[in-house]
């Protein structure tokens, strides 16, 4: 058995590594995508392009506008007195929001009344619009508080110490600077490992069938179980190498802390690799040609990424879809990755995710083996 399996593994490695383009694809794209996606995948909204319509042009209105210009969250790209110009800029995509200050702004402030400022938002991207509106509310609240303090200093400085106030003491755990990259980079790692291994494995059997070499292999003394091992072990080892390289990029390039144990991380990665290898092998046995394998792989990959909680919380999904996420092994792997990297937790906390991935791997690999035997019959 070991001799036959050894020859099968040598054949697979020669087939994979003899092609220069394949060697490049196995290493370079995951590294490049890791760097690009690490920067692109973020919840932070900065440098929002905006316009200003100032119908009053007073010292108070200019002070209010200057806070937008001084903030890293906004870029004032247009100052105009025309709503038509703002609408045209929004239609062209030049700006995302506009702030309109009406006449009487400073007078309302002096009288202690509520001064109204209109915010116009391009809500085509609702996430950006909501985050930008939150920044505007915070900036307006700070301006109102500063203006109130300044007025009290002028009129009744003795009352200033008696003003009630609330001070929020922030204590964010695991990510003190609230860097979204620390949350997204482990997720990108899981997505890239899934993408590479599923696609490579999906072509494993169907390529042999297309070339007509599958029948030639099966008439040799090699057994079906040995054939499946020979097809999966090389991609398993490639997945381990890619996982190590991607982890190095995440920790050394993006400085995501690795607070947990490498043994826990390795155990979770091994279990997840078995799961995605089973998925890729099942796709390969169900497909008649490489085009079908590619379409089937992406048919799995897109829902797997969406239902994994990579970008949006699973708790925000409809209840029915939350049940579907239980069938997604990437969901459990991302919990392991973020738990090991950010929280430093171990098997005592992550064992439910480990057990789920192990159960999924056993079921999907068994289904792949049975389907492979059926396809041969």
Least Cα distance to 60 among 146, 156, 152, 163 occurs for: 146
The residue whose two tokens read 């909204």 is 45
- Count other Cβ atoms within 10 Å, centred on residue 316: 9
H/E segment holding residue 98: strand 97-101
Least Cα distance to 86 among 133, 76, 138, 116 occurs for: 76
Rounded-to-integer distance, Cα 180 and Cα 101, Å? 33
Cβ–Cβ under 8 Å, residues 131 and 99: no
What 8-state DSSP symbol labels residue 115? Answer: P
Consecutive 10-residue averages of pLDDT for the chain (377 residues): 62 65 70 78 82 90 91 90 89 91 87 86 83 90 84 68 69 82 89 89 77 64 71 84 90 91 95 93 85 87 90 85 92 95 93 95 87 63
**Could you report the per-residue pLDDT of 40-59, keeping only the tens digit for each?**
777 778 889 999 999 988 88
Q: What domains does the chain contain, in order, with CATH numbers?
A: 8-42+176-376 (no CATH), 48-162 (3.40.1710.10)
pTM of the predicted structure, to 2 decimals: 0.80
Cα 340 to chain center, whole Å?
Answer: 17
């Amino acid at each position: 058995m070991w001799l036959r399996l050894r020859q099968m593994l040598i054949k697979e490695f020669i087939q994979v590594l003899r092609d220069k383009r394949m060697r490049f694809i196995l290493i370079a794209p995951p590294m490049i995508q890791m760097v690009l996606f690490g920067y692109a995948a973020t919840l932070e909204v900065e440098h929002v392009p905006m316009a200003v319509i100032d119908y009053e042009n007073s010292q108070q209105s200019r002070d209010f506008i200057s806070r937008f210009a001084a903030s890293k969250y906004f870029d004032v790209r247009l100052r105009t007195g025309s709503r038509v110009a703002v609408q045209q800029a929004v239609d062209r995509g030049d700006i995302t929001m506009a702030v309109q200050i009406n006449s009487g702004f400073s007078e309302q402030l002096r009288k202690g009344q509520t001064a109204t400022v209109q915010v116009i938002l391009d809500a085509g991207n609702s996430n950006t619009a909501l985050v930008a509106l939150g920044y505007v509310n915070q900036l307006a609240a700070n301006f109102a508080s500063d203006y109130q303090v300044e007025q009290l200093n002028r009129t009744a400085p003795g009352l200033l110490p008696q003003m009630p106030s609330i001070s929020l003491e922030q204590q964010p755990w695991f990510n003190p600077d609230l860097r979204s990259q620390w949350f997204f980079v482990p997720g990108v790692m899981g997505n890239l490992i899934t993408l590479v291994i599923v696609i490579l494995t999906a072509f494993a059997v169907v390529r042999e069938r297309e070339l007509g070499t599958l029948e030639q292999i099966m008439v040799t003394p090699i057994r079906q179980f040995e054939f499946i091992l020979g097809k999966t072990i090389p991609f398993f080892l490639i997945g381990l190498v890619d996982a190590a390289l991607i982890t190095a990029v995440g920790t050394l390039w993006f400085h995501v802390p690795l607070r947990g144990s490498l043994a826990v991380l390795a155990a979770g990665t091994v279990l997840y690799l078995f799961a995605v290898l089973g998925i890729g092998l099942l796709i390969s046995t169900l497909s008649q040609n490489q085009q079908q394998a590619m379409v089937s792989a992406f048919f799995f990959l897109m829902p797997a990424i969406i239902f994994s909680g990579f970008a949006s919380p699973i708790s925000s999904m409809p209840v029915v879809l939350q049940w579907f996420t239980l069938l997604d092994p990437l969901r459990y792997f991302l919990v392991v990755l973020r738990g090991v990297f950010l929280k430093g937790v171990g098997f005592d906390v992550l064992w439910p995710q480990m057990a789920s991935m192990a159960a999924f791997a056993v079921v999907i690999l068994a289904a792949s083996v049975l389907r492979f035997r059926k396809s041969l019959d």
